[in-house]
Structure 1
Amino acid sequence: MGKLRVLDLFSGIGGFSLGLERTGGFETVAFCEIEEFPRKVLRKHWPEVPIYEDVRNLTADTLARDGIEVDVITGGFPCQDLSLAGKRAGMGEGTRSGLFSEIVRLISSLGPSYVLLENVANLLSGPSEQRGEWFGKVLRDLAGCGYDVEWQNIPAGALGAPHLRERVWIIAYPKAQRQPEARELQYPRITQWLPRCREAAFLAHDRKKRAEGRKPQQVSGFSAFSWCKDVRRAEDLRGRSDLPTPLFRGSRDGIPDWVDRVGACGNAVVPQIPEMIGRAILEAEATA
Structure 2
Amino acid sequence: MTTAQPTPAPTVGELFAGIGGMSLGLAWAGFNVRWQVEIDEWCRRILESHWPDAIRFDDIRTLDPDSLAPVDLICGGYPCQPFSNAGKRKGSRDDRHLWPEVVRILRHLRRMERHPAWCLFENVDGHVSMGLDSVLSDLEGIGYTCWPLIVPACAVGARHQRNRVWIVANAKRDLFQGRPALASKGCGQSTQEQLAGLLFPCPWPSLSVARAFRAGDGFSRQVDRNRAIGNAVVPQVAYMMGMAIRTAHEIHNLPYAGDPT
- Name the TM-score class by shorter chain: 0.7 to 0.9
Confirm whether residue 139 of structure 1 aligns to residue 136 of structure 2. Answer: yes
The one-letter amino acid paired with 2:165 is: V
Provide structure 2 residue ranges, at least 5 long, that are not aligned to the other structure: 1-6, 110-114, 189-199, 215-219, 253-261
CA 118–220 in structure 1, closer or farther in 2 if over 3 Å, else same: farther
User: Following the alignment from structure 2 to structure 1, what is the Cα–Cα distance between the partners of residues 235 and 227?
Assistant: 16
- Distance across 2 between alignment mates of 1:171 and 1:161: 22
1:222 — aligned with what? 203
User: Structure 1 residues 166 and 220, CA, compared in 2 at 3 Å: closer, same or farther?
Assistant: farther
AA partner of residue 113 (structure 1) = A
Secondary structure of the residue aligned to 1:124 is helix
Change (3 A) 1:48 1:138: same
Give the 4+ runs in structure 1 shifted more than 3 A.
223-227, 244-249
Partner of 2:237: 273
Larger Rg: 1
What is the RMSD computed on CA atoms of the aligned residues? Answer: 2.6
Distance 1:18 1:62 in 2: 23
Residue of 194, 199, 202 corresponding to 2:186: 202
| Structure with greater proportional helix content | 1
**Secondary structure at 2:187's aligned position in 1?**
helix
Aligned equivalents of 2:101, 2:79: Cα separation in 1 = 12
Q: Report what 1:54 is aligned to.
A: 59
CA–CA separation in structure 2 for the residues paired with 1:247 and 1:4? 33
Matched, 1:149 2:149: no
Q: Quick check: 1:31 aligned with 2:42?
A: no
Offset from partner CA, 1:59-109 (integer Å, 9 cap, x none): 22222xxxx2222110100011110111111024x621x210111111122
Equivalents in 2 of 1:273, 1:53: separation in Å? Answer: 25
Counterpart in 2 of 1:13? 19
Cα deviations by residue, 1:217-264 (Å, 9 ceiling, x for unpaired)? xx942145466xxxxxxxxxxxxxxxx785569xxxxxx942211110
**What is the alpha-carbon distance in structure 2 between the residues aligned to residue 107 and residue 143 of structure 1?**
11
Counterpart amino acid of residue 45 in structure 1: H
Would you say how many aligned residue pairs link Structure 1 and Structure 2?
A: 224
Give the structure 1 partner of residue 249 of structure 2. Answer: 285
Higher mean displacement: 104-113 or 8-17: 104-113
Structure 1 gaps, min length 5: 127-133, 179-184, 205-218, 228-243, 250-255
Aligned 8 A contact 2:152 2:187 in 1: no
One-letter code aligned to 1:36: E
Q: Structure 2: how far apart are the matches of 1:247 and 1:283?
A: 34
Q: Note if contact 1:73-1:107 (Cα within 8 Å) is conserved in structure 2.
A: no
